[in-house]
Amino acid sequence: MDIFKTKTALRATLTKYKKEHKTIGFVPTMGALHDGHLSLVRKSKEENDITVVSIFVNPTQFDNKKDLEKYPKTFNKDCNLLESVGCDILYYPTTQDIYEGELAAEKFSFNGLEFQMEGKHREGHFDGVGTIVKKLFKITEPNKAYFGRKRFQQLQIVKQLVNQEKIPVTIKGQPILREKDGLAMSSRNARLTREHREIAPLIYKTLQEVQQRFPYETIQNLNQWVQEVFEKEPLLQLEYFCIADTSNLQTVQKKELHQKYRAFIAVFAGDIRLIDNISLQ
């Protein structure tokens, strides 16, 4: 695996591969890798000649500085994991290499997608996401890029970004990977206390119950039931739960025929914020 710390050197190598008509798959990450990330790398390896992974903790998408400071950094372990699945290239830039002295997010409009769910609770988050993804796509110019569905809203926004900016890349959303007890894999899981880790699977169990009840219960009843579940569990604090139209991510209160819906949830386990979602079809 080749490791590049500057975009200039990375571009030179990728240009050489493109002249050889090789396809490029790209997996952007913030490091602290787990099996969910590795599944994206494996998929890219299946579908492309060259797979590039980036590790960059992007400061402009954090609305909470403490969260940024505490974000786990496990570079040596990450390198070993990437090599174990055959990653070809790792891009590990500095903030200077990415932002060139102007540490600011571009302002975006994503047809309202940015104001739903995460956007209501993390001011400016999706401007930061849009900024870094646009920059990374410009640097790597991949044929395909891979994102997990755990951050489903981010996935939809990246698709909107690519459409708006006319970036010639195919976005591939991949299934959520879970621990044996159902907890969605996340870099943040390693920071959970033992007590919080033991109770955290309640998040997915609640979503599964919503999925089972959805065909025959009203959305209002499901919203109330989820509230009650977490009111009874003092170790977990519900930030939000909603059922949204998959096409525009707008929260819905009434079901309509032929529409596709998804349930979204964000929960605090102590000061660790965990998110998850599930299809209701």
The enclosing domain of 153 has a CATH number of 3.40.50.620
Same domain, yes or no: 153 and 204 = no
> Long-range contacts of range 65-73, CB-CB < 8 Å, 24 or more positions apart?
66/271, 67/273, 70/191, 71/30, 71/32, 71/187, 72/31, 72/32, 72/187, 72/188, 72/190, 72/191, 73/31, 73/32
Which domain-ending residue is among 119, 147, 174? 174
- In this prediction, residues 69-92 reach a mean pLDDT of 94
Does residue 69 carry a pLDDT above 90? no
Same domain, yes or no: 205 and 235 = yes
pLDDT bucket at 176, cuts 50 / 70 / 90: very high
Same domain, yes or no: 191 and 75 = no
Q: How far is 244 from 128, CA to CA, in rounded Å?
A: 23
Same domain, yes or no: 13 and 152 = yes
Of the listed ranges 66-80, 123-137, 174-188, the one predicted with least confidence? 66-80
Range of the domain at 255: 187-279
Which domain-ending residue is among 174, 195, 214? 174
Query: pLDDT tens digits for 112-138?
Result: 998 988 888 888 899 999 999 999 999
The pTM score is 0.94
Which domain-ending residue is among 127, 151, 174? 174
Query: pLDDT tens digits for 195-210?
Result: 999 999 999 999 999 9
- In this prediction, residues 128-154 reach a mean pLDDT of 97
Question: What are the helix (H) ranges across 167-267?
Answer: 194-199, 202-213, 219-231
Catalytic site residue 37? yes
Tokens 């500095």 correspond to what residue?
Answer: 94
Catalytic residue among 34, 37, 125, 196: 37
Q: What is the pLDDT of residue 68?
A: 81
Query: pLDDT tens digits for 215-247?
Result: 999 999 999 999 999 999 999 999 999 999 999
Domain total for the chain?
Answer: 2
Q: How far is 192 from 176, CA to CA, in rounded Å?
A: 19
Of 78, 85, 73, give the one whose Cα is nearest residue 39. 85
Tokens 């870094």 correspond to what residue?
Answer: 132
Query: pLDDT tens digits for 5-16?
Result: 999 999 999 999
- In this prediction, residues 38-58 reach a mean pLDDT of 97
Q: What is the pLDDT of residue 56?
A: 96
- Give domain status of residue 182, yes or no: no
pLDDT bucket at 214, cuts 50 / 70 / 90: very high
Does residue 101 carry a pLDDT above 90? no
Same domain, yes or no: 15 and 72 = yes
Which tokens sit at 63? 């609305």
Q: What is the pLDDT of residue 62?
A: 87
Q: What is the pLDDT of residue 124?
A: 85
pLDDT bucket at 80, cuts 50 / 70 / 90: very high
